[in-house]
Amino acid sequence: MKAKFTVGDMLPIGITLVVLGIGLTFGLSVMEDVQDDMTADSAAYNASTDAIEGVAELPAKMPIIVTVIVAALIIGILVRYLMRAA
């Protein structure tokens, strides 16, 4: 099944990425608040530290993810337009 994208699809995708970023930020804040209630150097504290560090890496990759998505949309739109024009 081929996905057909148009320029109008970029706004919902952009909004989705913004909401994802806000959700990640809020989630990390909640995780840090929960960790503050744990005893330092306990298994739960160490597990939450690992979870926070793992989740914190995703927002750092967001610019790359967004660039790939936008590039794929633009290439798809150009290919579709050029195929129709030929």
Question: Using one digit for the tens of pLDDT, what is the confidence trace for 17-40?
Answer: 888 888 888 888 888 888 888 888
pLDDT grade for 58, boundaries at 50, 70 and 90: confident
Q: What is the pTM of this model?
A: 0.61
Residue with tokens 């148009």: 6
Of 50, 25, 21, nearest to 35 by C-alpha is 50
Residues 42, 82: Cα–Cα separation, whole Å: 60
